Structure 1
Amino acid sequence: MIKARCICPKNGSEGAKKSSPKNNNVSELRRLYPDVDDEIIENFPFSEPRHNQFDIISRISDAIDEGYRYIILEAGTGTGKSAIATTLARIYEPAYILTMTKQLQRQYAEEFGYPMVKGRGNFSCKDTGLVDTCDIGTCQTVPNSQNFACKFGITKSQYEEGPFAFEDAYGTPIHFRSADQCNYWRQKARAVESSITLMNYDYALLELAYVKHFGKRNLMILDEAHNIEDKLMRRMELNIYNRSLRNDIKKSIPQNMMGYDDPKDWTAFIQSIYGSYKDMGLKELPKNKADRINRTKGRLSELMSNLEAHPENWVVDTSPGSVSFKPLKVDVYANERLFQYADTCIFMSATILDHELFCKWLGIDPKEVYFLRIKSTFPVSSRPVHIKSVGPLSQRAIRRTAPKTIPILEKILEHHHREKGLIHTHNYKCQEYIINHLQDKRLMSHDSKNREQKLHEFEKSRDPLVLVSPSMSEGVDLPYEKCQFQVIYKVPFPYLGDRQIKKRKDMDPKWYAYKTVMTLIQAYGRGMRAEDDYCETYVLDGNIKMLFRNKLYKSLVPEFFNEAIERD
């Protein structure tokens, strides 16, 4: 085990606000748990812990103090991972807590009171009134040549009348121009100065590596950590569109290159368009467009470096009018892009499945890792899995097999006619088939634009609705009467029509199996959220048998899923 830098409980930068524990039951907890460190009890956010919570926090705290740089906690729903995270963040602040979505970010903020930081589009521009959001406000749309300085914004210069805002990662003091402050910059200043800050992964990957208003902290807690690789891959992916090239630099992708699939064959073209972007005059452009051009230059420069250093790690995917460059692995990039911004990283997820593979794919040295797996406390009888195989629902067989699913779905809906349910389709094609062929007024669906709205309607309704969706496998919390049964219509194999996925599968078949099992187990957990909850799950796709017969898949399926299977 390699020692990491010692972390001591302390505040962040000077002036940072120390988090205030909400626990008013400290003396009683000390009496009930005399062997638990006072520091843990004082920083625990609730009046009493769930089963094993103090033990988990103690073990992780000991691992941090022993010098482990990475801690991996695999613990199912009901463990109370958010309370574990917030206790450790308070003890070892300054800290970051990273979540998958703005929704989860907001849940942490509402429950524990930590400031969260969001992009400009979430705030109204004070200079233009309520008409525009900050991403299209005056400071973003006036030409650079006008040197516009928003009276509500910030400056790096020292103004006597301007209150201190924050100190960036380079130690440069930033001040507000006036006491009347921009909504976007006020929330960002509060987040930078706070000893505990909430970010979603997309925002963090941009802010930490590029903007650099936030500095390195003692601790980074990465919730839903099984998604980190996907987030990094998508962040590093670069899409080049003809319409943007024509508008910006009067160029386009040569038609004869659209069949090239070797990244090295694209090097000269990337260098050419990079040079054209570099030669652009930006003074007369609106600031938001100038910033976009500068980001494009940075991304192209970064891509050129990556292709030069690791050409075998990239795949080219072309479609009419565009070309995409996608990484196959992120193990050589993860530390630089994310992990280096904290002395210690804690990864939390219910579906790590195999921590050695998890470390391998993120470039983590196993010698620096402390791994802790906590078994599910949910009774097997409360989360049964019924295998109702109708044959494979693969792309080749689905036309023949799909009609057989309708009678079974009808029986399931009739059996649960007074209960709300969720049907996981994995793709929109299966969703459309069910909606068109299953005549039931209880069914509701969504598209990519109204997903959150429809989910909200489903959650709030008291009617026994059934939501048919390809994208509710994770980040969705449907306890008790919100979801009492669910159907896994199709086993969620990643789409092999994507060249990135196909090449990665060919390179590493276990990665493909891992992604499939992970998504399946995440879907299984949507309706069963507490020890006294109950949710039945039905699996229709005959390909589920592969998970129990193929050794690649079988080795990854967790015991708590296996033990719940009731083969009818």
Structure 2
Amino acid sequence: MFPSRIHEEFPAPGYRGAQEQALNDIQAAFAEGADIVLVQAPTGSGKSLLARAIAGCARTSVESEEEQSYDAFYTTPQVSQLDDVADDDLLEDLCIVRGKNNYNCILPGQTDTPVSRAKCVRESGFECDIKNRCPYFTDRATAADSRIAAMTLAYFMQTANSELFGKRDVVVIDEAHGLGKWAEMYGTISLSPTTVPFWEQVDVPDIKGLEHAVQFCEHLYSISERRLDELSTKEVLNSKETAEREQIYRLRGDISWLTADFRSEDGDTEWVVNQPDDHGQISIKPLNPERYLKHTIWDRGNKFALLSATILNKDAFCRKMGLSPSDVAMVKVPHTFPVENRMLYDITQGKMTLDDRDETLPKIAQVIAQVMQKHRDTKGLIHCHSYDIQAQLADRLAELGVEERVRQHRKENRDAKLADWKASDGNDVFLSVKMEEALDLSGDLARWQVICKAPYLNTGDSAVATRLEDGRWNWYYRNALETVIQACGRIIRTPDDYGATYLADSSLLDVFENAEHDMPPWFEAQVERISKPNLPRVAPEQ
């Protein structure tokens, strides 16, 4: 890596805010010998441009000697972040490849079929005459030969053993705060009708513990082997059978991880089993998933830059990633947007815990209607946290006579409904679920938002419960603070942008108090200025 050229690799014609100083600090960290640099950069600081400059410091093939790694990876957990990269002219030299499901076959009569289920996958021995024009294989080959290959984190981890995407000199991970969650997802074995294609033919036991869960997994493995043998006798698979084969391959891979670790004398992973309903679906989660990051992330590069607004605690982040803090440098980029443009307002109505929700939610609906009246001419976003809260709020807002301004979505139409709302004129309000991250609502796309519930992790989850039993409350509050900070950044995206964030759940104030020691100074400035707004009264519709 050549950190000295970081400024010449910066793709914009000029610097904005603290970008120049950030590049100086990142350059110094790598020059002083750090292999991994964490970059805490607030929303709107231009992380993607910083990422491009860092990636450009990678050794090129011309500069490398035999056996030396060269070029760079850019990866992010967020699909929408990769879409933003694709749309940014300043980042046009990042060559993007996506998973097969994102491309359609180009064979006649197959153009509605994703490449993951095309004839080359379904038919044994099929040789495609136009593979060199296939959009997936074309993008894959272009990315493999490019100086900077860009992909989602999921695709990056899946290609850990790929010869095409072997080790490179530099790896840049954007929105890296979610890396631990991805490691846990990667290491979790989920057993349900959606992951086990022969689930209905299996007598699912009431799991009594980890050993019982492993025995059941080994039973599934045996059944899957027989089913693969049946499928292998067919020269041509239909779409359903192709999908089933893919599911079985994934299932066997997951089970192999678990059983190998459990049966190994050296296995040191702590697993927890969750089965909410008797004889129902099962999840087996690793409490220390960092081991899965070694071959999928850390073995893939020489130098790493991890960027996010919410890498809040270096030591805690390093522990979660399986890294030694002494081997990692951290650069903190200040927020240059005026704090007056990103104010927080206290409209708390009580707690939104399950025990208190019936009493609190109607009050929150009432105050949301008041906020809507205050912002009668602008669009707003409501962070509902769950579909149950979303549905109840929609009903309550209808009772208050403001339903004509309200839009909502379901899981299956989430992206389409969001796109429709963003493209609309007027003053509609969008009731969202799990949109605290990777959403750009700059300018008049949204001038205000309401956070309805403190985004605590589910304590009913066995992995969460086990950590809390071990006294890891700082981790619990820090996770909630990360999500709140991410949510607050959705509506203020540029230095001259502005927007108001309203806090409706009193537990949000508890988050700020309990995670104060992990709060970045620029967000602490917002918290210190929290005030109660003057809101108009709204009477229920008669």
Q: State how far apart, in whole Å, the 2-side matches of 1:254 and 1:44 are.
A: 56
Paired residue for 1:54? 20
Of residues 288, 294, 312, the one that matches 2:270 is 312
Write the mapping of 1:162-177 to structure 2, written as runs, cut at 5 A.
Answer: none
Aligned residues: 498
- SS of the residue corresponding to residue 261 of structure 2 reads helix
Q: State how far apart, in whole Å, the 2-side matches of 1:276 and 1:470 are.
A: 38
Alpha-carbon deviation of 1:195?
1.2
Alpha-carbon deviation of 1:200?
0.7
Paired residue for 1:264? 211
Paired residue for 1:221? 172
Structure 1 residues 289 and 386: alpha-carbon distance in aligned structure 2, compared to 1, 3 A threshold: closer
Q: Counterpart amino acid of 2:257?
A: E
- SS of the residue corresponding to residue 462 of structure 1 reads coil
Q: Deviations over 1:347-375 (max 9, x none)?
A: 10001111111111111111111101122
Paired residue for 2:381? 422
Of residues 284, 301, 307, the one that matches 2:233 is 284
Q: Counterpart amino acid of 2:129?
A: K
- SS of the residue corresponding to residue 184 of structure 2 reads helix
Paired residue for 2:302? 343
Q: State how far apart, in whole Å, the 2-side matches of 1:184 and 1:216 are.
A: 21
Paired residue for 2:192? 241
Of residues 119, 125, 129, the one that matches 1:151 is 129
Cα contact 1:140–1:288 (8 A) shared by 2: no
Structure 2 unpaired stretches of 5+: 60-70, 533-542
Q: Counterpart amino acid of 2:218?
A: Q
Q: State how far apart, in whole Å, the 1-side matches of 2:416 and 2:292 are.
A: 36
Structure 1 residues 497 and 204: alpha-carbon distance in aligned structure 2, compared to 1, 3 A threshold: same
Of residues 117, 121, 136, the one that matches 1:140 is 121
Cα contact 1:106–1:116 (8 A) shared by 2: no
Structure 1 residues 212 and 394: alpha-carbon distance in aligned structure 2, compared to 1, 3 A threshold: farther
Write the mapping of 1:170-185 to structure 2, written as runs, cut at 5 A.
Answer: 180-185=132-137
Structure 1 residues 253 and 516: alpha-carbon distance in aligned structure 2, compared to 1, 3 A threshold: farther
Q: State how far apart, in whole Å, the 1-side matches of 2:289 and 2:474 are.
A: 16
Alpha-carbon deviation of 1:267?
2.7
Q: State how far apart, in whole Å, the 1-side matches of 2:512 and 2:49 are.
A: 35
Confirm or deny that 1:123 pairs with 2:75: no
Alpha-carbon deviation of 1:254?
4.2
Normalising by structure 1, what TM-score? 0.83
Paired residue for 1:465? 428
CA RMSD of aligned residues (A): 2.2
Cα contact 1:490–1:540 (8 A) shared by 2: yes
Write the mapping of 1:338-487 to structure 2, written as runs, cut at 5 A.
Answer: 338-438=297-397, 439-440=401-402, 441-487=404-450
Q: Deviations over 1:211-266 (max 9, x none)?
A: 45310001111111111111111122112236876739x962443xx141x21232
Alpha-carbon deviation of 1:41?
4.0
Confirm or deny that 1:523 pairs with 2:490: no
Structure 1 residues 560 and 55: alpha-carbon distance in aligned structure 2, compared to 1, 3 A threshold: closer
Cα contact 2:184–2:286 (8 A) shared by 1: yes
Q: Counterpart amino acid of 2:478?
A: Y
Confirm or deny that 1:197 pairs with 2:156: no
Paired residue for 1:87? 53
Alpha-carbon deviation of 1:488?
0.9
Structure 1 residues 429 and 276: alpha-carbon distance in aligned structure 2, compared to 1, 3 A threshold: closer
Paired residue for 1:273? 220
Alpha-carbon deviation of 1:92?
1.3
Cα contact 1:420–1:482 (8 A) shared by 2: yes
Structure 1 residues 244 and 522: alpha-carbon distance in aligned structure 2, compared to 1, 3 A threshold: closer
Alpha-carbon deviation of 1:406?
2.6
Q: Percent identity?
A: 26
- SS of the residue corresponding to residue 412 of structure 2 reads coil
Worse-matched range after superposition: 276-285 or 99-108: 276-285
Q: Counterpart amino acid of 2:261?
A: N
Q: Counterpart amino acid of 2:221?
A: Y
Structure 1 residues 134 and 327: alpha-carbon distance in aligned structure 2, compared to 1, 3 A threshold: same
Structure 1 unpaired stretches of 5+: 1-6, 10-36, 154-179
Structure 1 residues 246 and 141: alpha-carbon distance in aligned structure 2, compared to 1, 3 A threshold: closer
Paired residue for 1:170? none
Confirm or deny that 1:303 pairs with 2:266: no
Cα contact 1:483–1:535 (8 A) shared by 2: yes
Cα contact 2:274–2:461 (8 A) shared by 1: no
